[in-house]
Amino acid sequence: MAIVVLDGIWKVYSVGKVTVTALRDISLQVEEGEFVSIMGPSGSGKTTLLNIVGCLDLPSRGAYRFCGQPVQQMRDRALAALRNERIGFVFQTFNLLPYLTALGNVELPLMYRGILPRRRRRMAARVLEEVGLGDRLHHRPAELSGGEQQRVAIARALVGQPSLILADEPTGNLDSTTGRGIMELFKQLNQTHGVTIIQVTHNQEVASYGSRVISMRDGMICSDEAVREGR
């Protein structure tokens, strides 16, 4: 089943009297269970594309269907529910709340869904165990390494069992060894649990963990290739 279907997507921004075209006629399909890496230099449009796929922004022209649903026809409340229930986000800067423990940060998406405290703590603890942080449940972000913070962020993205995880430069703030550990975790989640992942990166080694690499330049897709045998 196709998770993401983009058809002729354009994104145009107006900055004063200047018009900037960030995306130009993007057509793309991502199937359930794929691990897709999007590469490109700064300004190529890759983060803009990720924001549209994540329903954080809407295209200027073209059509986007998420799990068969036409996104542009959704009202704000429906878009917010889709982001909370169907899409998990992992950011370069982790975006953890400093005053909450690892457990508290992972519980947040479940709290917004109205899940009762006992059940959401149990769900959050289980997914933190899964990403290797069973002994760090009650540590705050300042007490965790960068790699551990990113694992908390991954657990937060996973806890609601989303259809899709979007990762924006997930190893950008990590050293190379820690970054490889994070990518091995993504690979395991994709291969063992069938989690669909789209990541944005400028790093060729990080991109090669995916099963498919899409290269962008000047707001356009210039190549879309399968990675032979993965890593």
Kindly report whether the global pTM for this prediction surpasses the value 0.85.
yes
Q: Where are the beta strands (DSSP E) in 68-219?
A: 69-70, 87-91, 164-168, 196-201, 212-217
Evaluate whether residue 17 is within a structural domain.
no
Tell me what pLDDT residue 231 has: 54
Evaluate whether residue 70 is within a structural domain.
no
Tell me what pLDDT residue 15 has: 81
Contact (Cβ atoms closer than 8 angstroms) between residue 41 and residue 202 = yes
CATH number for the domain harbouring residue 143: 3.40.50.300
Evaluate whether residue 117 is within a structural domain.
yes
Evaluate whether residue 12 is within a structural domain.
no
- Print pLDDT tens along the chain (231 aa): 899 999 999 999 988 888 999 999 999 999 999 999 999 988 899 999 999 999 999 999 999 999 999 998 899 999 998 998 899 999 989 999 999 999 999 999 999 888 999 999 999 999 999 999 999 999 999 999 999 999 999 999 999 999 999 999 999 999 999 999 999 999 999 998 899 999 999 899 999 999 999 999 999 999 999 886 645
Supply 13's token pair. 């921004």
Evaluate whether residue 203 is within a structural domain.
yes
Tell me what pLDDT residue 230 has: 47
Tell me what pLDDT residue 166 has: 97
Domain that holds residue 210: 34-58+75-226
Q: Please tell me the distance from the alpha carbon of residue 190 to that of residue 211, in angstroms, as a whole number.
A: 10
At 14 the three-state DSSP class reads strand
Contact (Cβ atoms closer than 8 angstroms) between residue 160 and residue 89 = no
When divided into structural domains, the chain yields a total of 1
Residue 227: HSE in the Cβ half-sphere, 13 Å Cα cutoff: 19
pLDDT in tens, 187-203: 999 998 899 999 999 89
Tell me what pLDDT residue 229 has: 60
